[in-house]
Structure 1
Amino acid sequence: MNTPPDSAIRSCRTAVDLAVAFVVAVILLRTFVLEGYLISTGSMAPGLYGFHRRVHCPSCRFVFAFGVAFDESTPGSLGTIQEPTGPRRLATCPNCGQSGIDVSNLPNNHGDQLLVHKHIFDIRSPKRWETVVFRNPASPGEAFVKRVVGLPGETIRIKAGDVHINGQIARKSLAAQLDLRIPVCSLQLPDSEHPEWQLPWDLDQHWKLQQNTLQYSAPPADTHSPAASLPAEPAWIRFHYWKPSGGRHLAETPLTHAAAEPDWSDFLNRFRDVPIAWSAQLHYDAEREVLQCTGVMPTELQRDLVRNATSSEFRNAVFRLAALSHLAPVTDRYGYNSLVASPEFVVSDLMLDTTIQWQQPPARIHVRIPVGNQIFGLTLDTTSHSATLLSLDQQTVLQQGSYAAGDGQSVHLIASGFDQQIAVSINGQMPFPELPVEHAQPPDEPVEASAAPVGDHRPDPARAAGISLLIERQKRWALGISGGSANVTRLRMYRDVFYTPGRRRNAVKSDYVIPESCYFVQGDNSPVSSDSRNWEKPVVPHAFLVGKPFLVHLPSKPAILQFAGREWRIRIPDWERIRYIH
């Protein structure tokens, strides 16, 4: 009888020992160090998903999540999965604004699974803006994941979407900003058949759009001109947030009382008894002599007004108003929250993220960064690889630094105006520290995007003026190139998290002093988050902290398996969303 050689026996024993050691190590890690956590609701979206449906926009192909489970902060929801029915089954793309996307036939997808480092807060205290998992103080058997915004002993207040600590705005580092930022729009373009879409950027004449790339070529230099030796004027790309449909923002255009009659009276008479929302969307302010539209003017309404107009003044006013109605403020609306009705607030804290490539390097790259009532200019010299930050209002240099050349044929640039400060990153490095902006004069109260009070179709003049001012400020964002040639292959705008008033229970109407060994926490998806703003017991004691989530380790997406003429819906890993958590 043949017996296995000693080497084979030793190899087998080694394999068994390794397998046992691995199992023991996993058990020890899961018991004492690591723990898995499944997110069910959307209070931390869009960074962390709860139960949702994965939506592909049919126009721009942007992929986003449609939440189907929310916590008790949302009426009628206690964390259970809701079935989208009726108008609630229709999603709106957060990138291009395409509305009416039917999600009723899409499968539900599980929430993100987190890997949590247990007991780390037995060694140290959590930091501001850090994500934590903790036991719900009202129901200790339930685990929550939120972000720490207030620390023990601090006085906290939520004002106009920002966190204020001890009377001063709490500013985030650029790393924290990148973790929290929420997409607004990008260069992913809708199909040519999209009837109402326009690029959310206004291009100077030396720019042209080619598929998903903006191309720039400097005009030929006139060597005989006295100005030939001067630096070339930048060719600008200016941000203007174009909304294809919907919204509750206000647009208005001048129209004298004499020019408004009789067409305005005729419009009211024709639609007074007709069950259509047009008469509620349009308003003429006779005292100020302006024609106003709430939300984007529907194409059918514009055609009706133009077809029945008897004066060219009224007809031209309608054309102007229809175009202006597409220019909307950036708001805190989430594509994730399409199932939920909630007020929208204007968001002023924006971030530009762009990649610029070239063969013949441009002389300079410019960015205009508005913060409150002030505007700043960033200039990159591609030859010396230097960056300069200026106050355009005072014409003074504020910061200077250098950046790594990278591959020498491109630059990845991030410019942020979050939290009343300027933060810049070039090729992954900051050329100078974040610069706080004093006297930015932000709004004292959150500004609702709707110009009309709830239950009233007449726009409020003061609110409308405030919205118009914020729209004008956001239009100051611009990217410019001077000299050479360049291709902008990536151009994205992001916004900051806007902390809504919620139920106004804690730290909203007045200051709140955080007790010792306790933390004030909030969700990134503020409109639907149940957190310290709303809880009867507003803080999380240190003893209730479970640990720090550090990895989204098993996100998934739906797929269809086809075999033998049959189809099965399955879940597969979403490798692109596996990431570390700040």
Structure 2
Amino acid sequence: MTTKPAPAAHAEEDTNIPQTLQSLIVAFALAMAVRSFVTEGFVIPTGSMAPTLMGQHLRPTSPATGYSFAVDAGPAFDMMRMLGANYRDIARPMYDPMLSLTDQIEQVSNTESAQNSSMGDRVLVLKYLYAFQEPKRWDVVVFKNPTDPIGDSANFIKRLVGLPQEQILFLDGDVFTAPLGSGRDAFTIQRKPEYIQRAVWQPVHDSDFVPVDLTRLARVWGKSWPGPPWQGTGFETGDKRAWRHDGADAASLQWRFDLMPITDFTAYNIWRDVPVTQRYSVSDIRVSVAIDADDPAKLSSEYTLETRRRNLRFIIADGKATLRIESAREGDADPITVLEEQSVAFTPRTDGAALEVEFWHVDQRMSMFIDGEEIVSLDYAFASLDERLLASYNGRTVEDYTRNATFQQPTPPQLSLSFVGSPLTLHRVRVDRDLYYRPAVLREDPYNQPPQNGEAVSGAAFATDFEKPAQLHSDHFMMCGDNSAASRDSRLWGRPSPLVTAIFGSDAPFIVPRPLLLGKAWCVYFPAPVAAVEGWTKFVPDAGQLRFIR
């Protein structure tokens, strides 16, 4: 009996080339399908959405305080491209936003700025999401640029602020809307949800950042540091991070606008040519503070914001947390009129930990948060748009404002903190401001109004004409950048590209037609990279900046 030898078994490590190729083809096909129909990555090229999303930027650290912040690198690259190598070493002033926006702390050359810059954030966009659900106000959206849908700036990313079938008006930085065809008395303010509001607060001052060397700072400035913008009686502030008051008597702090105005300026634009005269005072403010009282049960705390002809009072006292709106008094002898009030019971903590308090005034709403939880809120309204305008621009008339809104400064708010009843220490005293949508005037600007699109539109920017609010019709959306001072958006675009008009039949200027919406920006999956070792090329994503987009 004979037997045939068994065929030799293939070694386990042998590669099946056809199967491997098939797997790669399937994986590639799935990736292309996902990219085409589910999600796609985009790079943020500019700073129009800063600081929510970063374009190409650098992140300096102040030698005076250690404060780190993002700065738009675009101006440095623009100068190098336009003026050549001779201007590579021209120095630019650098400021520390926690100390001053007028006194520089050092100078940085264009070459150094370019070498230390990082590319913009990379974001994932949920494509075709809007085929299944309606776009929502405050979504961050990627869309085709209606003025140039096939050029170098074909894809834009902005925040959706205006919806179809409504009128929209920007006033004192806020968004007001009304149904199409309704009168001016139908306009109401649009408020952002808490999770979005937390994402868009922009820092003004933080008491944790104080000069580490007052002598060196005085030598650089040629004068002494005047101290933090919070100054008053009873507290030892100066160059300390913790501010102490010994005693149960009254102590107070007032914000000094001469030291640090609260405006729509953002540190990201520190090299952008934004004139100081066109920075707008902002009254939508968050003040947060950690209060460490020796005897919490006896302490009474109050934050007062004077703005828009009202005194907004946030009070923690007598077992209650109270929000109160009073009419502003012309003189000390005038009576106090309480317009609205809301209170809830509140028991101070007794575990010895500091009380983390946030006082919010934003979008005509007062809110008080304790340890991150909202405990009381109070919405308020004005009788009309005219009343809101006159309250925001105290001493001016409607005619003054409409003559040229871009040169009308809102009346600056007044801020104060007061305490009585217990010795205490304040930590982490921070001030943040809300987004501010600016008024503007339309110009013959080839970037916003390309000449091939037809005659340039003139007059007040879209949605900023108080007498003629913007009209959004069916399937029309309005998009704006969070960095309003440096954003090409629906306020400024002129007529759409002839291609958009030919394909979609819409020749309305300023708006984004529904078919141009590409999807909702979902997350930053590859933040601006950092160097693994100082001096190396930046290629490692900053994992601490991975985040969902709000």
TM-score, with normalisation over the residues of structure 2?
Answer: 0.71
For 1:394 and 1:349, the matched residues in 2 are separated by 22
Structure 1 residue 548 and structure 2 residue 520: aligned?
yes
Structure 1 residue 90 and structure 2 residue 90: aligned?
no
- Give the corresponding residue for 2:493: 535
**Aligned residue among 165, 172, 175 for 1:153:** 165
C-alpha spacing 1:520/1:183, structure 2 compared with 1 (3 Å)? same
C-alpha spacing 1:403/1:501, structure 2 compared with 1 (3 Å)? farther
CA contact under 8 A between 1:359 and 1:486: conserved in structure 2? yes
**Structure 2 residues not aligned, in runs of 5+:** 1-6, 15-19, 179-186, 219-223, 327-335, 394-404, 442-459, 495-508
**Aligned residue among 42, 59, 68 for 2:73:** 68
Paired residue type of 2:464? V
- Give the corresponding residue for 2:268: 336
The secondary structure found in structure 2 opposite 1:432 is: strand
Q: Deviations over 1:347-400 (max 9, x none)?
A: 23222122234564363332223341111222235x95x422123543563343
CA contact under 8 A between 2:164 and 2:473: conserved in structure 1? yes
Question: Which residues in structure 2 correspond to 1:71-470 (within 5 Å)?
Answer: 89-97=92-100, 98-99=103-104, 101-104=106-109, 105-106=112-113, 107=115, 108-141=117-150, 142-166=154-178, 167-187=187-207, 188-191=209-212, 192-193=214-215, 194-195=217-218, 196-197=224-225, 198-208=227-237, 211-219=240-248, 234-241=250-257, 326-327=258-259, 329-342=261-274, 343-358=278-293, 360-361=295-296, 363-364=298-299, 365-381=301-317, 386-392=320-326, 393-395=336-338, 397-400=341-344, 402=346, 409-438=353-382, 442-443=388-389, 470=411
Cα shift at 1:49: 0.9
For 1:206 and 1:492, the matched residues in 2 are separated by 16
Paired residue type of 1:390? R
For 2:360 and 2:307, the matched residues in 1 are separated by 9
- Give the corresponding residue for 2:506: none
Q: Deviations over 1:42-98 (max 9, x none)?
A: 10112211111211122122111221238xxxxx89x99999868772233322214
Structure 1 residue 573 and structure 2 residue 529: aligned?
no
Q: Deviations over 1:439-472 (max 9, x none)?
A: 695555997xxxxxxxxxxxxxxx9xx86x934x
CA contact under 8 A between 1:67 and 1:336: conserved in structure 2? yes
**Structure 1 residues not aligned, in runs of 5+:** 10-14, 71-75, 220-232, 242-325, 448-462
CA contact under 8 A between 1:40 and 1:69: conserved in structure 2? no
- Give the corresponding residue for 2:472: 514
Cα shift at 1:185: 1.0
Paired residue type of 2:424? A
Deviates more, 1:353-362 or 1:40-49: 353-362
For 2:125 and 2:260, the matched residues in 1 are separated by 40
Q: Deviations over 1:530-568 (max 9, x none)?
A: 111111121111221111112122213443637xxxx53
- Give the corresponding residue for 1:287: none
For 1:405 and 1:376, the matched residues in 2 are separated by 25
- Give the corresponding residue for 1:58: 63
For 2:199 and 2:143, the matched residues in 1 are separated by 20
The secondary structure found in structure 1 opposite 2:302 is: strand
C-alpha spacing 1:29/1:235, structure 2 compared with 1 (3 Å)? farther
Cα shift at 1:500: 1.7
Cα shift at 1:177: 2.3
For 1:439 and 1:60, the matched residues in 2 are separated by 46
CA contact under 8 A between 1:372 and 1:420: conserved in structure 2? no
Q: Deviations over 1:380-425 (max 9, x none)?
A: 35x95x4221235435633435589596622222212222321222
For 2:93 and 2:138, the matched residues in 1 are separated by 33
Q: Deviations over 1:183-221 (max 9, x none)?
A: 1111111232333431110132155567322223334xx
For 1:127 and 1:403, the matched residues in 2 are separated by 38
Paired residue type of 1:337? N
For 1:122 and 1:169, the matched residues in 2 are separated by 28
Deviates more, 1:131-140 or 1:386-395: 386-395
For 1:137 and 1:518, the matched residues in 2 are separated by 11
For this pair of structures, how many residues does the alignment match? 448
The secondary structure found in structure 2 opposite 1:56 is: coil
For 2:50 and 2:11, the matched residues in 1 are separated by 58
Structure 1 residue 505 and structure 2 residue 461: aligned?
yes
C-alpha spacing 1:487/1:80, structure 2 compared with 1 (3 Å)? farther
The secondary structure found in structure 2 opposite 1:103 is: strand
The secondary structure found in structure 2 opposite 1:576 is: helix
The secondary structure found in structure 1 opposite 2:344 is: strand
The secondary structure found in structure 2 opposite 1:190 is: coil
The secondary structure found in structure 1 opposite 2:130 is: helix
C-alpha spacing 1:110/1:28, structure 2 compared with 1 (3 Å)? same
The secondary structure found in structure 2 opposite 1:547 is: strand
CA contact under 8 A between 1:88 and 1:339: conserved in structure 2? no
Paired residue type of 2:166? E
C-alpha spacing 1:26/1:148, structure 2 compared with 1 (3 Å)? same
Deviates more, 1:205-214 or 1:140-149: 205-214
C-alpha spacing 1:157/1:201, structure 2 compared with 1 (3 Å)? same
CA root-mean-square deviation: 3.9
CA contact under 8 A between 2:342 and 2:377: conserved in structure 1? no
Paired residue type of 1:89? R
For 2:22 and 2:347, the matched residues in 1 are separated by 51
Deviates more, 1:348-357 or 1:112-121: 348-357
C-alpha spacing 1:578/1:82, structure 2 compared with 1 (3 Å)? farther
CA contact under 8 A between 2:307 and 2:411: conserved in structure 1? no
- Give the corresponding residue for 1:42: 47
For 1:4 and 1:480, the matched residues in 2 are separated by 83
For 1:129 and 1:21, the matched residues in 2 are separated by 38
Paired residue type of 1:66? V
C-alpha spacing 1:88/1:5, structure 2 compared with 1 (3 Å)? closer
TM-score, with normalisation over the residues of structure 1?
Answer: 0.67
- Give the corresponding residue for 1:277: none
